[in-house]
Amino acid sequence: MNQIPSAPAKIELGHVTHLYLSTTRAFMAVKDINLRVEEGEFICLVGPSGCGKTTLLSLIAGLEKPTAGKVLIDGHVVSGTSRQVGYMLQQDYLFNWRTIEDNVFLGLDIQGIRSKETEEYALHLLDEMELADVRKSSPMQLSGGMRQRVALVRTLACQPDVLLLDEPFSALDYQTKLKLEDLIFSTLRRHKKTAVLVTHDLSESIAMGDRIYILSRNPGRINSEIVVPPTIRDTLPFDARNQEGFQDLFHRVWKEMEVVSDAAKGT
């Protein structure tokens, strides 16, 4: 243990390197990543395709073990998936053979913590997302935005402290996406969750995040870190886009992305 025991970060990655091995080659997905996320923070990872954003989420989620380096949550080494960490995928992946309600209870079933209380909490979340009246419906009857909201409830029902969001808005139409951004942003703030969002959408990363990490690829590394000023950080994503300074920040992130993409082309 090399950090101060009194104040471990919520998520900490120390010199994390991860390889994907196949018979033909060893591919370095990410190299020497150092990252610190404090409790309640919302950080965004952006970067060109193949820069290892999803790999980082898998490592934090405990789906994979880093080849080298350490992944810590609350100062403890991550060894496998845990209740503490929730994960949201690009698409909802609701189970069509279960009702909305049963989809939402999935995590409770898996973790063996289904009880009247946890069920009530999940249904309360469903209500918060304005989905109470579809609880007995089948996922097939819902629109894309509704389904993704159900997926969020499914994740939150297990009461994780950390939420990993892997481009959860990318499969939605623009209007739904903006609405859902606001909804998720305020829900996570209200429940004081720590979140890591992977996205391709630069303005989304500025509107939602407290800090933005820009990654380069081959191998995936952290190129730069941008701190979002409080005026933008504390407003809902939709309004944040109209805040003073948003455009300037967008151009900064854009420039950084250009640097990263050019560097990738050079190799």
Partner 1 sequence: MQPKELESVHRHYLKEVRKTHTWVFTTQVILFLLFLGLWELLARTNTINTLIFSYPSKVWAQFWTQLLDGSLLPHIGMTVWETIIGFLLGTILGTVLAAIIWWSPFLSRVLEPYLVIANSMPKVALGPVFIVSFGPGLFSVIAMGCAISVIITTINIYTSFKEVNQNYIKVVQTLGGNKRQIFSLVILPATIPTILATLKVNVGLSWVGVIVGEFLVSQQGLGYLIIYGFQVFNFTLVMMSLAIIAVVATLMYQGVAFLERRLTSQFK
Token representation of residue 137: 């419906």
Residue 107 is a binding residue for partner 1 (CB under 8 A): yes
Please tell me whether residue 81 binds partner 1 under the rule CB under 8 A.
yes
Please provide the size of the chain in residues.
267
Amino acid at 104: V
Q: Which of the stretches 21-29, 91-99, 190-198, 215-223 binds partner 1 when contact is defined by CB under 8 A? A: 91-99
Q: Is 111 in the site for partner 1 (CB under 8 A)?
A: yes
Q: Is 110 in the site for partner 1 (CB under 8 A)?
A: yes
DSSP E strands, the chain: 11-21, 26-37, 42-46, 68-73, 76-77, 85-88, 162-166, 194-198, 211-216, 221-227
Q: Which of 6, 23, 97, 117 binds partner 1 (CB under 8 A)?
A: 97
The CB-side HSE value for 262 (13 A sphere, CA atoms) comes to: 6
Q: Nearer to partner 1 by C-beta: 137 or 243?
A: 137
127 contacts partner 1 (rule: CB under 8 A)? no
Residue 158 binds partner 1, judged by CB under 8 A: yes
* Closest separation in Å from C-beta 97 to partner 1: 5
Decide: helix, strand or coil at residue 84.
coil
Q: For residue 171, state whether it binds partner 1 (rule: CB under 8 A).
A: no
Give the rounded distance of the alpha carbon of 35 from its chain centre. Answer: 14
Q: How far is the CB of 231 from partner 1 (least distance, A)?
A: 34
Where in 227-266 is the site for partner 1 (CB under 8 A)? none
CB 186 within 8 A of CB 155: no
Give min distance, CB of 166 to partner 1, in A.
Answer: 10
109 binds partner 1 (CB under 8 A): yes
Report the run of H or E that residue 130 belongs to, with start and end.
none
Six-digit token pair at 175? Answer: 């209007």
Q: Which helix (H) or strand (E) holds 228?
A: none
Residue 15 makes contact with partner 1 by CB under 8 A: no
| Interaction of residue 66 with partner 1, rule CB under 8 A | no
Cβ 213 vs Cβ 44: under 8 Å: yes
Under rule CB under 8 A, residue 172 binds partner 1:
no
The correct pick among 61, 104, 122, 156 for binding partner 1 (CB under 8 A) is: 61
| 20 makes contact with partner 1 (CB under 8 A) | no
> Rg of the Cα trace of the chain?
19
- Verify binding: residue 87, partner 1, rule CB under 8 A: yes
Inter-CA distances, 97 with 41, 102, 258, Å? 36, 9, 45
In angstroms, give the least distance from the CB of 105 to partner 1: 11
- Dihedral pair phi/psi, residue 193, rounded to 5°: -90, 155
Binding of residue 168 to partner 1 (CB under 8 A): no
By CB under 8 A, name the binding residues for partner 1.
Answer: 61, 63, 81-83, 85-87, 89, 91, 93, 95-97, 106-107, 109-111, 138, 154-155, 158
